[in-house]
Amino acid sequence: MGVEWIELDVKLTKDSVPILFHDETLERTTNGHGPVAQATLSDIRALECGDWFSEGFGGIAIPTLEEAMDVLMERGLGVNIELKPCPGREIETAEAALDILSRSWDAHDQLLISSFSHVALETAMDMAPEWARGLILPTEWPKNWQDIIHHLKLTTININGNTVTQIQMRELLKLNKRILAYTINDPERAALLQSWGVDGFFSDEPDIIREGLGLVH
């Protein structure tokens, strides 16, 4: 598809192993039950997480962050690691993920550490200040969003591209940061956001977005 970067959500198991997982609980995408934070890596390994999607994905297991890094390096892909800590584990999640990245990921120009949690990003800044960081703004921006952005010395600001307004974009552009929009699956919306100054997109349909923006030759 021509995609050069991917985005991965990282949470911790009960025994503090970083895994790729989005939700707070296991039900939606696995045959397990309960909070991710209460499942050990051994518990996670026993889960089936592919057959709900389609028959051809049956038998797929939840990977660890370390396993994912090996696959990405083999393919030369850049990665946006979204730290998605369970409540109360913001610092621990950042520390565990960055420890693995520091041991396995050499291409620092192909790495972005992002999060909704400014505490997790602050931890990342303390541990690896030279690595690029991105704050994910929710649909309703916090009142002190500009203070947070300046404090964290960010590379990117990641926004909800389906709700952001042109007025908000003008405010963002004043900060001279790269602006990334999530989750854009409509090429017309992507083109509009690009005209407003958005630099890149998170998408479930990257081939459609690339074609719509004239990036496929």
Say whether pLDDT at 157 is over 90: yes
Task: Answer yes or no: is 69 within a domain.
Answer: no
- Burial per residue of 168-180, b for 16 or more beta-carbon CB atoms within 10 angstroms, e otherwise: ebeebeeeebebb
Task: Answer yes or no: is 200 within a domain.
Answer: yes
Sort strands 200-201 and 156-160 into parallel, antiparallel or unpaired. unpaired
Q: Are 87 and 16 in contact (CB under 8 A)?
A: no
List, for residues 65-115, the tens digit of each pLDDT value.
999 999 999 999 999 999 999 999 999 999 999 999 999 898 889 999 999
Task: Answer yes or no: is 44 within a domain.
Answer: no
Nearest residue to 156 via CA among 128, 182, 185: 182
Q: In what order do the strands lie in the sheet with 111-115?
A: 18-20, 5-12, 78-83, 111-115, 132-136, 156-160, 178-182, 200-201
Task: Answer yes or no: is 90 within a domain.
Answer: yes
Say whether pLDDT at 216 is over 80: no
Question: Which pLDDT band holds residue 1 (cuts at 50, 70, 90)?
Answer: confident
Task: Answer yes or no: is 43 within a domain.
Answer: no
Say whether pLDDT at 217 is over 60: no
Mean pLDDT (the chain) is 95
| The model's pTM | 0.94
List, for residues 44-73, the tens digit of each pLDDT value.
999 999 988 888 999 899 999 999 999 999
The single residue listed with the structure tokens 């999607």 is 53
Task: Answer yes or no: is 193 within a domain.
Answer: yes
Q: Tell me how many domains the chain contains.
A: 1
Domain that holds residue 101: 5-23+75-212
DSSP alpha helix (H) spans, 46-186: 65-75, 90-104, 118-127, 145-152, 166-173
